[in-house]
Structure 1
Amino acid sequence: MMEYRKARPDEREAYIDLANYAFKIDFESVIPKVYGKDMDPSAMHMVAADEQGRLRAQVAVYPEPMNVGGFPLRAGYLGIVSVHPRARGEGHMKVLMNKWLEEAPQSYDMLVLYGQRQRYEYFDFTLGGVRIKYTVGQDNARHALNDVSIDGLSIRPLFEIEGAAAFAGKLNDARPSFVQRDEQQMPFVLTGLEQRPLGVLDEGRLIGYLVVGKTGKEITEFAMENADDIPRAMKAYLAHAGTDWLSVLAPEYETELNASLSRFAENYAIETSDMYHIFDFARVLEAYLTLKHRTIGLAYGQFSAILDGQPVTARVDENGVTVERSALPGAGEFTKQQAQKLLLTPHGRFMEARVPAGWFPLPIFWYMADKF
């Protein structure tokens, strides 16, 4: 008889071994913020254990409390979906996913994951959000940044620099939207998923940092104390990396970063950012409409609907954003998948919904360092 339950602390080695076996990687080194030697993430793991107590499958949710435009949001990142090869096809993943989805609304406003679209649409996750991907090359630096001086700038491994963790925490907390990061865990957060955090120094003083992927050709996080230093840091990193081309990922709501990159990047693409399952539509709407209103800007107007059985009315006027848990007479009704498609993608324009221009998609974005 299979038992579906939370993992016990004494099973730490077993659930890590199962994940390593299924994904063919070493999770203790790849995601140290969760699986570091002194961590006990047992309560995050929902497992399937057979009669001999062997773990045959697991699904984990990593808590990620957020601040979105000054609004607290409870998010969880779902991952480590793994099934032992000898137990595949027995339905364990489906049971564990559904158990999490039954339990999660007590603790989370939404869950996030990265995975194959149709696989997780069965569990009412929707591919969406907004990520802007810029392409920058040596020719851009040579011409558009010709007059930008990088004298005095240097690039060094971030955590070789004194005070780097506190500095990175300060820049993260200054963002319009951010996942809360513990300062003591910052080296593990920014080195997860085989990333390399690099400090940008000006005459030896730390002025910003970049997080780059394994090959060094993708900047997954670009944080500068002063936005005017973004072109200098970009030109300095291109020289440091010695690569012809690289890409830079940015959230839509970091307007100074986008304004700077857009002035010299060769090209850009607007992409999706992960998959989302919303439990509390009113809270998610209020958080991200507020964020968008304070950064990108929103047209005045109102939107009223019943989203997955939850009535909401959102308004934007001279006083800002307000969201009520009620719907106006005649408000449209949408299933969870329809509601998430409307809020999280640009495809709402193909739906019969009365929405002020530019409100959706909501600018939801996840930095690589915060993924699980």
Structure 2
Amino acid sequence: MVSRQPHQSVLTVACEQTEVLLFDPISSRHIKTLTEAHEDCVNNIRFLDNRLFATCSDDTTIALWDLRKLNSKVCSLHGHASWVKNIEYDTNTRLLVTSGFDGNVITWDTNRFTEDGCPHKKFFHTRYLMRMRLTPDCSKMLISTSSGYLLILHDLDLTQSLEVGSYRMLRARRTPLSSDGGTSASRSACTPRQGNDSSKLHPHREGQGLSPRNSLEVLTPEIPGERDRGNCITSLQLHPKGWATLIRCSSNMDDQEWTCVYEFQEGAPTRPPVSPRCSLRLTHYIEEANVGRGYIKELCFSPDGRLICSPYGYGVRLLAFDERCGELVDCLPIQTSCLREIRSIYSHSDVVLTTKFSPTHCQLASGCLSGRVALYQPKF
């Protein structure tokens, strides 16, 4: 996993072993190696501000680090019972949000951290959790699962914990294929089922009645070519302007991989009417190389949202919504369309697993299974 500091003075790399690498992204100079950052594989890195960053690991912990003093951790956070895979941060509440293969999403109050950790509580739980993301404005939380579901918590309030013991995951209604073979993602009802099924799709506040915040929507995104075989959503990213979600998924047979872009129907920019109305609509897709089976490949948007960088075998592909690298809002098709390949770059000797654009410079980083990091400066 590759991560960037907001003001671009440090590039950090999470390694399969216990290490974290730090580079100067401009000169490509190796600055420092944190040789025992964790006791198991390091999975993700997230900057909280210009100096403080968090790492998470298969050792079930999260660690806070200060760039000014890297000889030791600021503190270790304990609360997960399995591998921790994702870190998000809400700048409004200063809550760190993590998710792991124990199915838990946990919030950590970084306003009150000490050497012994910081206060935390379980915010949400679901089975088969793979990845968790917050939209840029922190109004929604998206969760992908290995069973092919995509969960969306709307009107997000991270200060409340959700009682989810009575929830049941419902498979969403599917819309028919469009005339060109594309599909739409259809939403399941966000109200309790009728009859004897008392399961609810609206969470409750602790000790209170039904809450208008944190309403839960469960979807089964359609994947081209996978309508009858099921799929696992392995990688999940958000458009930098909050217009869409980007996923990487593989078939249950693990013989196909797809990159798909889904437009958020609610709050999205002006576009032609779409019927039937749904919360997500598949707008663009492309089939991937399916090299390095069993490993998760992390893709990313460019800072302006015009480009997608996708791991592709021993290299990366730059993908766009049209041949001019236009904005998504200007390239929304009436029917599902194929992503355009702008450039392919093969510079690794092993399978590429992660990619990341610089937030401030025209620069791209990729990391492969053998641990090598490559830096690029795209030119068009």
Q: Greater CA radius of gyration, 1 or 2?
A: 1
> Larger RCO: Structure 1 or Structure 2 (Cα < 8 Å, ≥ 6 residues apart)?
1
Quick check: which one's strand share is greater? 2
Q: TM-score range by the shorter chain?
A: under 0.3
TM-score of the superposed pair, with normalisation by structure 1:
0.25
Report the structure, 1 or 2, having the larger helix content.
Answer: 1
